[in-house]
Structure 1
Amino acid sequence: MNNSSNKISHTEKKLTGLVISKGCSFGKICLFNDSRHENSPVYKINTHEIEQEINRFAHSVDIASEKLEELITNIKTKIGLAEAEIFSAQKMLILDPTIQKKVIEEIEANQTNAEAAITKTLDFFEAKILDIDDDYIKERATDIGEVKRRLLDVLANLKPTFKCEGQKHCRRGKNRIIASRELTPSLTIELDTDTTLGFVTEKGGYASHAAILARSLRIPAVSGIKDLYNNLLCGTEILIDGDKGEVIIWPSSETLELYPNLKTQREQDYSSIDPIKDFKVMANLSLSKDIDLVNYFKAEGIGLYRTEFEFLSRGKLLSEHEQFEIYSHVIKKMEGKPVYFRLLDIGGDKSAPFFNLPKEENPYLGFRGARLLAQRPDLFKAQARALAKASQFGKTHILYPMIIEKSQFIQLKKMFLDFTTDIDTSNVFHGVMFEVPSACFQANEIFEIADFASIGTNDLIQYLFAVDRNNELVAKDYNPDREIFWNVLKIIVDAANKFNKPLSLCGEISNDSKYILKLYAIGIKTISASPKLIPEIRKHIKSIINNIKL
């Protein structure tokens, strides 16, 4: 492709989309070649060629799964286990016997080539998922498309490329911003992420696997930009404002001056700084195997241990003993620092067949969190006993999720104590997750009996404003800037202070420097965030505190 300056006006133009991953960066566009399989071969085969095509398909499955296994191992080492599970899910799809059987049946019944059979079969499964009336599940259709492309890449001996592959800015890749129709996991993770400054896409929701990866890598990303390929050419200079969900094409020098901290080169500073006296930064944890990362960044405890991910990552229910081994390992590793174990928060966007949950029209407002624990003593008892036993190795803080009122917390705490009458629980502390508005307005009553509490801002914002944060159509209403949200936070802070009870906060806003000053001002002095963000958060907090002292 010729230099874009001959084909497009250099007049500044602003486009508005959706915030996917925060941060701002400036670079040149590389258009992803996501149409490489549009002309995949489709042809009829003779009867004696059927076995050959089935063998070609089997070969593509073997090679694609091997490549995925290498990728999974690499991601576990460089990023984390939770992120690696995204690609483990793709590997499971590739090896799924139902999908394989369908492809082979297509080859045999219609005497068609492997490429055509793969495309038809996986398009069928993708369409079925997209037809489900659940935005979170619809996001998973991307994984089906990814699997199709991986298999077709093997058969055609292709790899993901850019349309500007030979151009200088793309060859160097030092200031590359990737544009694509859809933000996919492979696009996010496989295309030289060390030199990628940002992503701009037409499709892809906040809760998609690719969006989660972009945030883990701290790469700014904006989605929902319509007619992307009509507005951008390879080499176009572009500014991504991931904080506002805006992209500015050919930004003027005056516009660039408004962004003094603009990233023009990937700078991943993984160095840590020491804890700050007046503000505690704890870490979020999903899998016990990531505990060394928590300690590497000198977290002052674990403020949110999402215990359900231990089940989801293993694909099965865990016994009392298995859970005890996991939880005691974490407590020992933290060497006396607090660990906040959130009890199983299954339901909503986190489920699996082995939990045997009922089918619901709206799982976000249904059988999840505290309600599930009350109705599933088989799950609750095993976890309660495992945590109580693990508490012999250090203080163990239990967070009860999705509490709607004081009486519900009393009921669940009683169940916990009834399950553990034969175990010493003197080291166990019971706390509430404030994430449902009704509980927030009972904060005084709850703090009378709770040992501590944590505010879960992601769900609180969602329920406070009746907005599904995974739905692109209403995503703009998921807005923590609204005054009523901060009024609710202040109610909780005041109640915690009144009863002198520890209070922490977790959620996306705890990762966002934009809100740190405001949190500090209303009295939030403990937050929990992704381990890799702790150094950056501490630097920002230190600057705020120093300015206040001045």
Structure 2
Amino acid sequence: MLTLTADDIRLGCRAANWREALALAGEELEAAGRTTPEYLQGLLDREAQSSTVLGNGIAIPHGTPESREHVRSTGIRVLQFPDGVTWHDDARVHVLVTIAAQSDEHLDILRHLTRVLDKPGLAQQLAEATDRDTLLACLSRTPATPKCDRDTLLLKVPASDTRELALTAAARLQSLGCVEPPFIASLVAQSPQAVGRGLWLVHATDGVTQPALAVATPAKADSALDGVLCLAGQGEDTQPLLEQIDHLLTQPESIARLSADELLARLAGEQANAVTRQVRLLNAHGLHARPAKQLVQVARQQSLPLQLRLLEGDAQAVSATSLTRVIGLGARRGQTLVISAAGEGAQAAVDALAQAIESGLGEAVTPLRAHDERKATDTPTQPVEPLETDTPIKAVAASPGLAVAPAFVMRLPELTYAATANDPDNQCERLNRAIDEAFGQLEALIRQAEGGEAGPILAVHAEMLRDDDLHQAAFDIIREGASAEAGWWQAIDTAAKAQEALADRLLAERAADLRDVGRRVLANLCGVAMPTPPDEAYILVADDLGPSDVARLDTQRVRGLVTAKGGATAHSAILARALGLPAVVGVGERLLTLDSGTDVVVDGERGCIVPAPGAERRRRLNQRLEQLEQLQARAHEARHEPASTVDGHQVEVCANLGNTAHTPEAVERGADGVGLLRTEFIFMAHSEAPDLATQRAEYAKAFDALDGLPLVARTLDVGGDKPLDYWPLPEEDNPFLGLRGIRLSLTRPEILETQLRALLTEAGSRPLRIMFPMVKDLAEFRAAKALVDRLREEIDAPDVQVGVMIEIPSSALLAPTLAPEVDFFSIGTNDLTQYTLAIDRGHPQLSAESDGLHPAVLRLIQMTVQAAHEHGRWVGICGELGSDPQAIPVLLGLGVDEFSVTSRRVPLVKACIRNLALSDAKSLAQLALQQATASDVRDKLEGA
């Protein structure tokens, strides 16, 4: 967007007429190096087409599209005429904002100025300003634009009380960047207030970055609870939002029964009996000054006042007779204007304005293409650079393994469809058939996946298709004039956005499941089949993959997965690990520049891909693959042997488990025990906190299968990216630094106590090690340990080891103070890495840099091990770094006593350790600690 500085302003100008004023403006642009002399003719040609007077004493002269060749660089010059200049349309002008733009950037300035000019008396201030800074301040004031649009509506939320709806609405505002954590904290401390008609209001001013209004309606409404309004902001900036609330309070109908479009209409002040009409804007440059002036003139000719709003915008309707407000809508080509009026003759007035808009408002217009129909609001994208050949591209390691094969680039077919239809009954029937067809497809996939990890996920997809609320939302949109395709996708998109607002990254990735289901139905509606992979071996390359995409894979042919988007916690990544396929995700847009058939190396160990590997790299790769295949075979045969180095140093290799049902499988694969049981799976599988008997039954499965092998049980680790439905938490700006882990458990000691009691009781004399997550210092550990000690006395349980998970840098730095009181440390390298490097490991651009072999992380591990060993304590590794072949010797050399990895990796990790000498490992660890970056560490290790 163009920016304005004091150097762009010239005060006290004089001109005898408008042509002389324009000539002066042209000279200023030329002197500033913005234009050539020929640009002045462009300014004159634009005035010949239509006056550029914006109103309130301001004109915005700018050239025609043809004159852009005379623009050297984009810029602005502001000329003040204190005595005024009479323009050719008899308007009196005091300020010229003269624009030289190489594209349509002047439209942004224009929209900005229309908002600035809403303040009464501002034009006079501009004319009388005696210094540049005053005038600059007047023109540069960034008005607070209130937000109340489709994104701030949360319809049919599965909640039954006002506080839950209020927090859900507040969470949506935070996800949209309108508010910050202090706003949420203010709402937590207050109760919603009844404002009539079953509507409730919460309002806070702390932490507001943009005035906004969110509306949340319950799935089951009644006269006492029809919806909750969440208002953020204060002062004149919220006046439009207060007017929208007033509009709702005057409506006789229940807002909980309204569709999104109907609710937006009521917020805009449109009565249920108002005459409305939607019309697409066809003007190439949108609703800029010249067509806007034509629209206003047509509106003024009507016998009734007309209102205008953007269907794709907020819920604010403006008077169609106000030029500045019409321009301020910022309508672009392809967007939909909603015209409304009430009273006798309303239909004729609305039709007259609609006809004027359709005819182009004085400009030549062309019909929309199918592409414009669906992407009217998209912004142009920059060309994407292709991937370098024979060059490693770092990304996110989602599933370990190594593979090379030709790429099959799965480009989703373009689903072209009309946005509207005039036969709602037929459209609803089409949608019903497409849903039934999708349900049948999912049932077939579930049968194919029976007994595997994909089955339960696909069953959830099938359940989504049964959602009556989702069906009804689509049918409501269709009855408003949408096609079956447009109605269905709008319902899917709205529901997915609501889910994304309820929690953080993990649930955001689960919202992808809903869109996966939606695309399946949409493809059925469009009669489009998904692309078919080749018959020979291939690497699947895609923008993103849904669980159903992974479940359809023929594991006899697919060798690996690579996606442009996604994180290590997405369902597709989880399933790739379950299928044993190497996978790398989050490569970026450039991935899709690959051509199908191009050989691709997928290195799920190091989190990188290599497009079109050269002959030398291919030779090394084939050698590595042969070695890996032989190693896997030998490792499987020796899986039950201890992990002892060639010089006799022995460590334990245990399994990370997310479910007790997988314990027998871990033991069969040679695990020396369970090094990390993520107990939250029990809590996340129930609609309320599981009782003592339920938890004992689950833990018994693990103890029985281990048959005397040790079990490290991490206490409930929720919050952040793992919320619980029955333990609602306020939305946090950064939940990974918020209320989670042990700090959350200590706020509900009765839940933690039940879990500890179940573990201690069921363990009996069997080896149990209790581990507390997210401990930052000794005070937190003591608070949790005191609960264990009290329960041991109550139930006369034997002594157990109690330790902490080192995943916060503070706990590693304070390991010398923790070590005397804990029994063990287990280092969670995933979180320790992201907290140390300040990189979210799911970040699409930065996640590849979140490498646990970074020297800073290694030094924290070294400090932890040294402190533990000085007090006779053992240290484990339970993060992904523990199964990284390059990291294993470094960790061994740093003194780690136990490796806890996914059960599939247990045999290979054991085999890797058996091939090492402890003395060599110590040398590699010292070499790694001397490096400056993670890349340097890996380079040195590869060459060692």
Distance in 2 separating the partners of 1:181 and 1:312:
30
Change (3 A) 1:46 1:201: same
Deviates more, 1:411-420 or 1:53-62: 53-62
Distance in 2 separating the partners of 1:312 and 1:466:
28
Equivalent residue, structure 1, for 2:406: 28
Distance in 1 separating the partners of 2:835 and 2:868:
22
1:101 maps onto 2:472 in alignment: yes
CA contact (8 A) 2:606 2:884 kept: no
Letter in 1 for 2:468: P
Equivalent residue, structure 2, for 1:66: 443
Secondary structure at 1:354's aligned position in 2?
coil
Change (3 A) 1:340 1:229: closer
Change (3 A) 1:263 1:189: farther
Equivalent residue, structure 2, for 1:3: none
Change (3 A) 1:12 1:322: closer
- Equivalent runs, 1:284-299 vs 2, <5 Å: 284-299=656-671
Give the drift of 1:131.
Answer: 7.4
Equivalent residue, structure 1, for 2:353: none
Pick the aligned partner of 1:282 from 642, 654, 659.
Answer: 654
Distance in 1 separating the partners of 2:520 and 2:499:
19
Q: Residues 309-335 of structure 1, C-alpha deviation per residue, up to 9 Å, x if partnerless?
A: 122234542111100111122112211
Change (3 A) 1:111 1:150: closer
Aligned-pair Cα RMSD in Å: 3.1
Deviates more, 1:461-470 or 1:257-266: 257-266
Give the drift of 1:435.
Answer: 1.1
Letter in 2 for 1:14: T
Give the drift of 1:190.
Answer: 2.2
Secondary structure at 2:667's aligned position in 1?
helix
Equivalent residue, structure 1, for 2:483: 112
Distance in 2 separating the partners of 1:253 and 1:246:
18
- Equivalent runs, 1:479-494 vs 2, <5 Å: 479-494=851-866
CA contact (8 A) 2:664 2:706 kept: no
Distance in 2 separating the partners of 1:262 and 1:225:
27
Distance in 2 separating the partners of 1:415 and 1:362:
29
CA contact (8 A) 1:394 1:427 kept: no
Equivalent residue, structure 2, for 1:139: 509
Distance in 2 separating the partners of 1:326 and 1:362:
32
Pick the aligned partner of 1:302 from 644, 669, 674.
Answer: 674
CA contact (8 A) 1:26 1:238 kept: yes
Q: Residues 447-466 of structure 1, C-alpha deviation per residue, up to 9 Å, x if partnerless?
A: 21212221111111111222
Distance in 2 separating the partners of 1:61 and 1:122:
14
CA contact (8 A) 1:197 1:266 kept: no
1:49 maps onto 2:420 in alignment: no
Larger radius of gyration: 2
Give the drift of 1:412.
Answer: 0.8
Distance in 1 separating the partners of 2:703 and 2:784:
23
Pick the aligned partner of 2:416 from 28, 39, 43.
Answer: 39
CA contact (8 A) 2:573 2:583 kept: no
Give the drift of 1:509.
Answer: 0.5
Distance in 2 separating the partners of 1:296 and 1:475:
34
Equivalent residue, structure 2, for 1:503: 875
Higher relative contact order (CA 8 A, sep 6+): 1
Secondary structure at 2:842's aligned position in 1?
coil
Distance in 1 separating the partners of 2:563 and 2:408:
12
Secondary structure at 1:513's aligned position in 2?
coil
Letter in 1 for 2:575: L
CA contact (8 A) 1:17 1:222 kept: no
1:522 maps onto 2:894 in alignment: yes
Equivalent residue, structure 2, for 1:256: 618
1:191 maps onto 2:191 in alignment: no
Distance in 1 separating the partners of 2:503 and 2:392:
29
In the alignment, structure 2 segments of 5+ residues that lack a partner are 1-385, 645-649, 922-944
Distance in 2 separating the partners of 1:247 and 1:503:
33
CA contact (8 A) 1:27 1:197 kept: yes
Distance in 1 separating the partners of 2:558 and 2:874:
40
- Equivalent runs, 1:203-214 vs 2, <5 Å: 203-214=565-576
Letter in 2 for 1:148: G
Letter in 1 for 2:514: I
CA contact (8 A) 1:53 1:107 kept: no
Secondary structure at 1:75's aligned position in 2?
coil
Distance in 1 separating the partners of 2:667 and 2:420:
57
CA contact (8 A) 2:605 2:884 kept: no
Give the drift of 1:541.
Answer: 1.3
Give the drift of 1:244.
Answer: 4.8
- Equivalent runs, 1:472-483 vs 2, <5 Å: 472-483=844-855
In the alignment, structure 1 segments of 5+ residues that lack a partner are 1-8, 77-82
Change (3 A) 1:209 1:291: same
Equivalent residue, structure 2, for 1:239: 601
Q: Residues 173-214 of structure 1, C-alpha deviation per residue, up to 9 Å, x if partnerless?
A: 3xx111112233333342213422222332223332222333
CA contact (8 A) 1:26 1:264 kept: no
Equivalent residue, structure 2, for 1:202: 564
1:348 maps onto 2:720 in alignment: yes
Distance in 2 separating the partners of 1:317 and 1:430:
23
Equivalent residue, structure 1, for 2:325: none
Distance in 1 separating the partners of 2:584 and 2:430:
40
Equivalent residue, structure 2, for 1:331: 703
Pick the aligned partner of 1:215 from 550, 573, 577.
Answer: 577
Distance in 1 separating the partners of 2:737 and 2:543:
32
Letter in 2 for 1:434: I
Pick the aligned partner of 1:172 from 521, 536, 540.
Answer: 536
Equivalent residue, structure 2, for 1:6: none
Pick the aligned partner of 1:435 from 803, 807, 815.
Answer: 807
Secondary structure at 1:544's aligned position in 2?
coil
Distance in 1 separating the partners of 2:696 and 2:627:
44
Distance in 2 separating the partners of 1:265 and 1:450:
41
Distance in 1 separating the partners of 2:482 and 2:416:
19
Give the drift of 1:225.
Answer: 3.8
Give the drift of 1:74.
Answer: 3.7
Change (3 A) 1:518 1:412: same
Change (3 A) 1:446 1:109: same
CA contact (8 A) 1:404 1:436 kept: yes
Distance in 1 separating the partners of 2:719 and 2:692:
21
Q: Residues 362-391 of structure 1, C-alpha deviation per residue, up to 9 Å, x if partnerless?
A: 211111111111111131121111112112
Letter in 2 for 1:171: D
Q: Residues 288-328 of structure 1, C-alpha deviation per residue, up to 9 Å, x if partnerless?
A: 11122112102111000000012223454211110011112
TM-score, length-scaled by structure 2? 0.52
